[in-house]
């Protein structure tokens, strides 16, 4: 396995730049999420440097659901990022991080009346997913005496090679309006009293390891942009969504770089907007590719059991990292305290949750595991902590943020009283 650039092994210990992960685990306990802000900045700059030479008017909207910690959002806000938000909570977090309302796109196929009212109140652009939603938003804007800027979410009907649970642009997906119905949708929006259709939006899926689907989606989008421009829509932006994958199997996977993405997509984009006679902003919405490799999950080996295989029982389960269980996904596992030793024992890395399926890694060679070892699961920055739960009444672990030679908590660990603090006794159970 090859380590990502910002990691190295020093005196047998896994390090993120100068930070020793074994020392960090000793100081803060395990399990522990550790995120490197410098890596997020680097990832963001890769996108900027790749896209801007082709088209300066490019905006990066971070997909907040990948990692919604306020410190992560703030780091990206400082770089000028906007955000793709998918709930009222994400909208509030993005604003609290200092992002401007007009750099946020409120997505989702099932928004509540409260969501729509909030978007109107804050002046956030809405990605509209149905005509029903369009008319509800028009009414909400009218009621508030405001106008609502929108994009329609296009379903480009593309079959994309990724896990079926994260392919979002299939003709049968729950997201978006079928591409052939889109001109009629804009026609309807032009007829609404309080709606300004200013953008067009798609997102074809996640963990996509080839750039070709993005180019195909872009082709569909610029073609529709031309059609709706002729109908009188004044497009201010075309949003191509996120979805670039990362190389979870190191070094076997090849994940396209932002440069490869730009080389494939930008010529299609430029040709399309030239043909349409427009010059809208280009928006993209990366989530995973900005944050996934910035973060590791440190976990301690509680016990080792030799059964039909060697079970390495750790203190983090799918309560803290659900991806292996939900998406059959792969995360590299290293023994952080003996990172210079070769794996010799074939292991199953199992969590502490009361479910047979609570396996975070199968069939991995680790250096002869013993209780007390600190394992590091790599590439946990996207859809890691963000999807955590308190299942089995396990308080969530802390999150540490690194920057330069500094390290600080960006979320404290939950306690047992955090588990009970929202619970209430029904009156018939009141005790004195």
Minimum Å distance from CB 366 to ligand PLP? 29
Give the nearest distance from C-beta 431 to ligand PLP in angstroms. Answer: 46
Q: Select which of 78, 192, 354, 421 is catalytic.
A: 354
The answer to whether 17 and 402 are in contact (CB under 8 A) is yes
Pick the closer one to ligand PLP by CB: 206 or 299.
206
Return d(Cα 73, Cα 193) in angstroms, integer.
Answer: 34
DSSP-derived 3-state class of residue 146: coil
189 half-sphere exposure, CB direction, 13 A CA radius: 33
Closer to ligand PLP by CB, 65 or 331: give it: 65
Nearer to ligand PLP, 206 or 313 (CB): 206
Q: How far is the CB of 341 from ligand PLP (least distance, A)?
A: 34
* Backbone CA torsion sign across 164, 166, 169, 175: positive
CA angle, residues 300, 302, 303, in degrees to nearest 5 = 135
By beta-carbon proximity to ligand PLP, the closer residue of 30 and 295 is 295
Nearest-angstrom CA–CA distance, 363 and 361:
7
- List C-alpha distances in Å: 171 to 134, 227, 242, 412: 21, 20, 18, 42
Pinpoint the alpha helices (H) of 7-61.
21-28, 37-51
**CA dist list (Å): 234 to 199, 238, 251, 280, 415:** 8, 11, 45, 9, 52
Angle between helices 70-78 and 88-96 (to 10 degrees): 50
Which helix (H) or strand (E) segment holds residue 19: the answer is strand 19-20
Q: Which is nearer to ligand PLP, 168 or 319 (CB)?
A: 168
Segment holding 118, helix H or strand E: helix 113-122
- Least distance (Å) from ligand PLP to the CB of residue 228? 20
Minimum CB distance to ligand PLP, residue 106 (Å) = 10
Given a contact cutoff of 8 angstroms between Cβ atoms, the answer to whether 316 and 361 are in contact is: no
Q: How far is the CB of 67 from ligand PLP (least distance, A)?
A: 10
Task: Decide if 30 contacts 301 (C-beta within 8 A).
Answer: no
Given the rule CB under 6 A, which residues bind ligand PLP?
63, 65-66, 84, 107, 203, 206, 241-243, 285-289, 382
Q: How many CB atoms are closer than 10 A to CB 415?
A: 10
With CB atoms as reference, the residue minimizing the distance to ligand PLP is 287
> Could you tell me the CA-to-CA distances from 134 to 179, 190, 200, 357 in Å, in that order?
16, 11, 14, 42
Q: Considering the complex, what minimum distance in angstroms separates the CB of residue 365 from ligand PLP?
A: 29
Task: Give yes or no for a contact between 222 and 238, defined as CB atoms under 8 angstroms apart.
Answer: yes
Q: Residue 245 or 398: which CB sits closer to ligand PLP?
A: 245
Q: Is 192 a catalytic residue?
A: no
Instruction: Please say which residue, 28 or 288, places its beta carbon nearer to ligand PLP.
Output: 288
Catalytic center residues:
354
């Amino acid at each position: 396995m090859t380590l990502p650039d910002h990691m190295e092994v020093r005196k047998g210990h896994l390090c993120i730049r100068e930070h020793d992960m074994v020392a960090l685990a000793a100081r803060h306990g395990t399990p522990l999420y550790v995120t490197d802000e410098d890596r997020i900045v680097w990832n963001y700059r890769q996108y900027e440097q790749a896209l801007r030479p082709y088209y300066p008017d490019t905006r990066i909207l971070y997909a907040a659901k990948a990692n919604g910690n306020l410190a992560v959002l703030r780091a990206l806000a400082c770089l000028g990022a906007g955000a793709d938000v998918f709930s009222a909570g994400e909208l509030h977090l993005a604003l609290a991080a200092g992002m401007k309302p007009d750099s946020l796109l409120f997505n989702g196929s099932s928004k509540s009346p409260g969501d729509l009212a909030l978007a109107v109140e804050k002046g956030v652009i809405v990605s509209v997913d149905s005509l029903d939603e369009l008319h509800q938003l028009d009414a909400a804007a009218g009621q508030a005496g405001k106008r609502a800027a929108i994009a329609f979410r296009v379903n480009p009907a593309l079959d994309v090679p990724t896990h079926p649970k994260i392919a979002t642009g299939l003709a049968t997906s729950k997201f978006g309006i079928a591409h052939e119905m889109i001109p009629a949708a804009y026609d309807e929006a032009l007829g609404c009293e309080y709606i300004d259709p200013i953008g067009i939006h798609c997102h074809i899926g996640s963990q996509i390891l080839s750039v070709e689907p993005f180019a195909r989606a872009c082709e569909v989008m610029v073609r529709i942009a031309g059609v709706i421009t002729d109908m009188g829509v004044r497009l201010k932006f075309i949003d191509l969504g996120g979805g670039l994958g990362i190389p979870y199997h190191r070094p076997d996977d090849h994940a396209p770089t932002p440069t490869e993405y730009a080389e494939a997509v930008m010529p299609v984009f430029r040709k399309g907007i030239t043909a349409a006679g427009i010059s809208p902003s280009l928006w993209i919405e990366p989530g995973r590719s900005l944050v996934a490799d910035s973060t590791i999950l440190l976990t301690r080996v509680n016990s080792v059991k030799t059964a039909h295989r060697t079970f390495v029982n750790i203190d983090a389960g799918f309560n803290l990292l659900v991806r292996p269980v939900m998406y059959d996904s792969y995360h590299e596992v290293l023994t952080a305290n003996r990172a210079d030793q070769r794996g010799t024992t074939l292991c199953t890395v199992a969590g502490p949750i009361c479910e047979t399926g609570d396996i975070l890694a199968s069939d991995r060679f680790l250096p002869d595991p013993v209780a007390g070892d600190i394992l590091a699961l790599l590439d946990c920055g996207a859809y890691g902590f963000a999807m955590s739960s308190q299942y089995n009444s396990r308080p969530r672990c802390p999150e540490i943020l690194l920057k330069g030679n500094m390290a600080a908590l960006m979320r404290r660990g939950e306690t047992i009283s955090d588990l009970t603090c929202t619970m209430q006794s029904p009156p018939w159970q009141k005790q004195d």
